[in-house]
Amino acid sequence: MSADPFSNRKPETGAFFQRDRLWHPPAFTPDYKTSVLRSPQKALLSLDNTLSEITGPVFGHNMLGELDNDLIHNFAKPGESAIGPRIIVYGRVLDERGKGVPGALLEFWQANAGGRYRHKKEGYLAALDPNFGGCGRTITNEEGNYAFRTIQPGPYPWPNGVNDWRPAHIHFSVFGHGFAQRLITQMYFEGDPMIWQCPIVKTIPDRAAVESLIAALDREATIPMDARAYKFDIVLRGRRSSLFENRLEGN
Amino acid sequence: MAQALNRLKESASQTAGPYVHIGLTPNFCDIKGVYPADLGATMVNEKTKGERITIRARVLDGTGTPLKDALIEIWQADADGLYNSPSEMRGTADPHFAGWGRKATDMDTGECVFETIKPGRVPFKNGRKMAPHISFWIVARGINIGLQTRMYFPEEEAANAEDPVLARIEHKVRVPTLIAQRAADGAYVFDIHLQGEKETVFFDI
């Protein structure tokens, strides 16, 4: 067994719950035009997890730099900071059983306050912020909690329809404990009317599934005279208990 | 009425978008100085056990055009067939091999290159063994939920023939979509076709 970064927690070896493909966006969503030529058309091959999916890479807290969870400062010149509404994003990574997921690597990226990404393929005329790079990362603690500082990103136009705009959002990449839990999603902001006009949001068929991607403004977690706070919990696939199953290693 | 199961629903997937590099490979897209190196860029060092291999991978859309904005992650066992993971209960994997790699496809050619080792065989249920394989996870603009597939090795004909996952593919004509080709320089070439006659077998796993 590999070194366990999760203290005295016993590693789990059960297969992950079947993914609810009706809850996630389907591959083919013609109103999001790029999906048309990039969506598999044949049926997926459904298989119970093998060891190759039950296992997954581990990332230790020692890989993190001091400013990795502070997008206001991690690209800024010394003594300067990114421009925009200062916010804290915090929450918990859980699995479908409601258990906290410790040691989960979260990576996030976003546009600046004007809605501009720092990327050579980005053509929006909004200005770059010389003090904002747009990436950050953190690892959940023993209870599955995480937090980071950033600025609230702006909405931006994108070439899909003639006049399509993305609502303000932060991209999240999430690792759980098994490669089968790998997930990328996006966080939206409570009260933004543009969420419900977005072709990418609308790839998700279920309104409740969209609502679970909208972070709540949390006045109680706000730091007075510093930053507002948004709460964003993330749920990864749960896994079966292996109590009554033949142990993969035994047989 | 019965008791509530109190299960949560998995957070819905959303596309990685065209700017996935900012978050996952910032050095690749010229955001320097935030992280010392892109995570998963280097998989082996001089102490890693096993046969060195090179994989050149591409992702092609329904017109056969390579995606120049895709991101691929791979996950594999070490040379002895052990995963470097807390859920690996059979033994201790090579400490010099994490087994996980990440690459963005080149913005001009659409190709990405993994320098890794050939994995050992990993057991399936009931003691059967799977053929050596590497798990692939593909995201990009226009892909709403990450795609899962596997790469197998062309020289492992006997092992591939008894692989329980490949055996589940009903249309045998599609099995070769999961088997890499060997280039003249020895590298494995793995083209992932999102659509069309050569559409790669993707898994719901």
Q: Kindly report, residue by residue over A54-92, the tens digit of the pLDDT.
A: 999 999 999 999 999 999 999 999 999 999 999 999 999
Q: What's the structural domain count of chain A?
A: 1
Query: Where residue A171 falls among pLDDT bands split at 50, 70, 90?
Result: very high
Per-residue pLDDT for B57 more than 80? yes
How far is residue A36's CA from residue B104's CA, in Å, rounded to a whole number?
21
- Number of DSSP helices (H) and strands (E) in chain B, helices first: 2, 9
Q: What are phi and psi of B175, to 5 degrees?
A: -55, -45
Report the pLDDT value the prediction gives residue B48, as an integer from 0 to 100. 98
Q: Which of B188, A186, A155, B186 is nearest to B178 (CA)?
A: B188
ipTM rounded to 2 decimals: 0.97
Collect all residues of chain B within an 8 Å Cβ-Cβ radius of residue A204: 12, 14
**Interval B85-124: pLDDT, tens:** 999 999 999 999 999 999 999 999 999 999 999 999 999 9
* Contacting A residues, span 218-237, partner chain B, CB-CB under 8 Å: 234-237
Look at residue A189 and tell me if it is in a domain.
yes
Query: Where residue A10 falls among pLDDT bands split at 50, 70, 90?
Result: confident
With H, G, I as helix, E, B as strand and everything else as coil, classify residue A148: strand
Look at residue B205 and tell me if it is in a domain.
no
Look at residue A137 and tell me if it is in a domain.
yes
Look at residue A42 and tell me if it is in a domain.
no
* Contacting A residues, span 149-168, partner chain B, CB-CB under 8 Å: none
Q: Answer whether A58 sits within 8 Å of B86, measured CB to CB.
A: yes
Collect all residues of chain A within an 8 Å Cβ-Cβ radius of residue B31: 75, 118, 133-135
CATH of the domain at A133: 2.60.130.10
Look at residue B3 and tell me if it is in a domain.
no
**Interval B127-167: pLDDT, tens:** 899 999 999 999 999 999 999 999 999 999 999 999 999 99
Look at residue B6 and tell me if it is in a domain.
no
In 3-state terms chain B splits into helix, strand, coil percentages (rounded to 5) of 10, 25, 60
Look at residue B41 and tell me if it is in a domain.
yes
Look at residue B7 and tell me if it is in a domain.
no
Q: What's the structural domain count of chain B?
A: 1
Q: Which of B205, B145, B147, B146 is nearest to A25 (CA)?
A: B145
How far is residue B81's CA from residue B165's CA, in Å, rounded to a whole number?
16
How far is residue A165's CA from residue A200's CA, in Å, rounded to a whole number?
10
Give the residue numbers spanning the domain of A104: 63-236
CATH of the domain at B112: 2.60.130.10
Give the global pTM. Answer: 0.96
- Marked catalytic residue, from A169, A177, A237, A239: A169
Q: Which residues of B58-93 are buried (b: 16+ CB within 10 A; e: fewer)?
A: bbbbbeeebbbbbbbbbbbbbbbbbbbbbbbbeeeb
Per-residue pLDDT for A246 more than 70? no
Contact status, residue A82 vs residue A88, Cβ threshold 8 Å:
no
Of B29, B125, B145, the CB nearest to A119: B29
Look at residue B12 and tell me if it is in a domain.
no
Look at residue B5 and tell me if it is in a domain.
no
Look at residue B124 and tell me if it is in a domain.
yes
Q: Which two tokens stand for residue A205?
A: 């068929």
The sign of the CA dihedral A167, A70, A179, B8 is negative
Look at residue A158 and tell me if it is in a domain.
yes
Q: How many residues are there in chain A?
A: 251
B188-193 and B181-182 beta bridge pairing = antiparallel
Chain centroid to Cα B150, Å, comes to 6
The mean of the pLDDT values for chain A is 93
Give the residue numbers spanning the domain of B178: 29-193
